[in-house]
Amino acid sequence: MPRENIFETVARAEKTSRDLLESVGKGFAFPVPEKIRNISENEKIQFDESGGEIKKTELLKTTLQALKNSWEQAIEPRIDDIRKQSVRKEEQKGGTDFFTEADLASEDAIRSAFFQKFGEDSIRVFGEEKNEYLGNQKSRVGVRIDPIDGTESMKFGKTQDWSIMVGVYEGTAENEKQIIGAMYFPERSTLLYQVDGVDGVFVANIETGETKEISALENQDNMSEIIISYWKHTNLQKTGRISEIESALRNSGARLRSTNSASADVLEALTTGGKRAIVMDGDIATVDYIAYSLLQKMGYRLFDWEGNELSADQSDLTDKKVVFVPPGKAGEEILKKIVESSK
């Protein structure tokens, strides 16, 4: 890639500064590009039968503010102490999964941001730790929270591959569609988000204010160029034929590694132009699809291990054994190996 000249550097700096100033002026917690700032104020979501409406722009602004609050108010003040402590018995969920007081505080901070903005009568909010919807159960505007995606990475400081995730949905709890998905990686100073009706996915550097728009993914036709992330079920009684799948893929020349967090896998898949696939042996929470939904919107396809195509917006995906494959022949080959090996 050719180096930019001084005029291009100045132009980029001016654009970044303009994005920052105009974003703050319009009430965004993070700098967003003009494409996002120009979302019409007339785009509204009806949340009840009486005609009550919420602006999509306000849902997005609240989402970003909630992510910021979660880090600054709930996680950052606790993170040093949490990293010094052992996992307590009461924090264990089962298998290798656990939570921390930061997870609980983060979820509370995000939920509070939405209820304070819109009121408990207007929306319903689901948090991973609370594991239930609070607010108006009949509202057609829903919010899902993963207060810390990648709690192990956050607690032990092994990597920066953890994030705070919020998804906003239109429809009932049984039949809803994700219209906003946002993931904030505080220790990476990175924000990944997507808004329904706006082309592309956006990756923002919070420190510099620069935003990269990912507008399309090319077909991936060479499996040797794909890295496949996989996850084995933590409950041995529920483990599928993941070992057989792993062997078949390796024998076909694929490169595999264990997954760390849904959001980090999705960020990497998008920023590499689709050179990633994801195989999950179940053990997936509903909130993980906040991130996975972005892949499908960008051309990835979601299948179960029998080869049935699925939608990331389905309500019955919890603990289902699935695979996300990029567009192109490599994805088709990966799917074929999984279907054959899982029989």
Is residue 173 classed exposed, middle or buried when 0-12, 13-18 and 19+ CB atoms within 10 A define those classes? middle
Please, which pLDDT band fits residue 315 given cuts at 50, 70 and 90?
confident
Q: What is the pLDDT of residue 96?
A: 40
The angle at the Cα of 262, spanning 256 to 266, to the nearest 5 degrees, equals 75
- The closest alpha carbon to 230, from 221, 240, 220, 238, belongs to 240
Which residues make Cβ contacts (< 8 Å) with residue 320, sequence separation at least 6? 282, 284, 304, 310
Cβ–Cβ under 8 Å, residues 52 and 136: no
pLDDT of residue 99: 56
Q: Are 36 and 195 in contact (CB under 8 A)?
A: yes
Angle, helix 101-118 to helix 76-84, in steps of 10 degrees: 160
Pick the residue with more confidence: 130 or 12? 130
| Average pLDDT of span 81-101 | 60
pLDDT at 91 over 60: no
Distance CA 107, CA 39 (A): 27
The predicted structure's pLDDT at residue 31? 93
CA atoms of 164 and 147, how far apart (whole Å)? 5
**Can you tell me the distance from the alpha carbon of 243 to that of 12, in angstroms, rounded to the nearest whole number?**
48
Q: What is the pLDDT of residues 196-245, one digit of tens each?
A: 999 999 999 999 889 999 998 999 999 999 999 999 998 889 999 999 99
Using CB atoms within 10 A of its CB, is residue 71 exposed (0-12), middle (13-18) or buried (19+)?
buried
Measured CA to CA, the distance from residue 147 to residue 167 in angstroms comes to: 11
Q: What is the pLDDT of residues 251-305, one digit of tens each?
A: 988 999 998 799 999 999 999 999 999 999 998 889 999 999 999 999 999 999 9
**What separation in angstroms does the CA of 46 have from each of 39, 61, 93, 174?**
17, 18, 37, 17
Residue reference for tokens 């700098």: 31
108-147 burial by CB neighbour count: b if 16+ within 10 A, else e? Answer: bbbbebbbebbeeebbbbbbbbeeebbbbeebbbbbbbbb
